[in-house]
Amino acid sequence: MKAKGKYGKWEIVRSLPEGGQAHTFLVRNSEDSDDTGLYVLKRLKNPERLGRFWREIEIGLKLAHPNLIKVINFDIVAQRPYLVCQYCEGGDLRSRGVGQGLGAIAGLKFFHSICQGVAYAHQNGVVHRDLNPKNVFIDLKSNSPVVGDFGICFLDQQGERLTVTEEAVGPRLYIAPELEDGRVEEVSQRSDVYSLGKLLYWIITGTEFSRKKYRDAEFDLSQKLHDPRMEHVNRLLDKMITTDPKARFPSAVEVLSEIEETIKMLEQGFNVVSGNVEQRCLYCGKGSYQLVANGRPSTGFGDLETFGITVRGRGEMIWRVCICNNCGNMQFFRPDRTHNPQIWD
């Protein structure tokens, strides 16, 4: 249904679904014939939320990035305060059907663009606090994701709380555990990292879950996508979807570099270094490596000698020998020479 009315120079085209703190309309510029674009106008519902409304405007003006929603115009002193921002014709990720599952590599590349916007916000001291599929939009002009709705964001330099006392922020399946009871004293960029991890899993698989279930058999990416190399993504999620904020990446800046590394690992077919993950043969590509010899000082090197291998200057050396069960290709490893020998346990 078409809604009639104007706010300043902004003529209402039609109503849009309402947000939590604003009436929302699709509008056009009635005073500039050269401006044929459409925009989103948000009109404040509750005058008591003016501070939070102004915060969204302030952040929109401060953050200029192609993966963040742009604030075009505003009037905070009007009888009915409003802001006008970029309109993304593609809708939000959920309505767009992104959650049907993009797959690992395509999903990571798409997610990388989202993280670029969030990383820019983090570099400018802004914590979003409400990252979920309905707050990320598709700009059809650039065919890229755009993060919006900074209405409950947090400026970590100021530490000012604008959310109602004891009000949990963000949707239940995406909110970081430390924010569930509105405990604002624990807000940090690591809270956004948790939500980003849940968002990444949803983009890749189209599945949502509570807390850390991505390691359960039902949700494990290696089993869900039938590819042992998905352990690369699991290890990325290990540093994002964890209940302990200190165990997460500090911010989306660090997430960005890890995403790039993970994409490289998957595109180039690198195996996961682990004693517990199936390793696809690098030679024939059909078989998988089986551990046939594991020599260390505490157990002796008899397994190696079975293969005609004599270890000299044994000391603290650790050897692993794996053979492909299809073509017989052999791989030799020295776990004691790695930066983290525990990855083989």
Catalytic residues: 130
**Is there a contact between 251 and 190 (Cβ–Cβ < 8 Å)?**
yes
**Is there a contact between 131 and 196 (Cβ–Cβ < 8 Å)?**
yes
Q: Where are the alpha helices (DSSP H) in the chain?
A: 50-62, 93-96, 104-123, 189-205, 221-224, 231-238, 252-267, 302-306
**Is there a contact between 24 and 40 (Cβ–Cβ < 8 Å)?**
yes
DSSP label at residue 96: H
In total, the chain counts a number of residues equal to 345
Say how far apart CA 208 and CA 62 lie, in whole Å. 32
Q: Classify 329 as helix, strand or coil.
A: coil
Say how far apart CA 112 and CA 129 lie, in whole Å. 18
Two tokens, residue 30: 């009635």
Phi and psi at residue 297, to the nearest 5°: -55, -35
Say how far apart CA 150 and CA 328 lie, in whole Å. 56
**Is there a contact between 85 and 35 (Cβ–Cβ < 8 Å)?**
no
Residue the block writes with tokens 């006008």: 84
**Is there a contact between 195 and 131 (Cβ–Cβ < 8 Å)?**
yes
**Is there a contact between 248 and 176 (Cβ–Cβ < 8 Å)?**
no
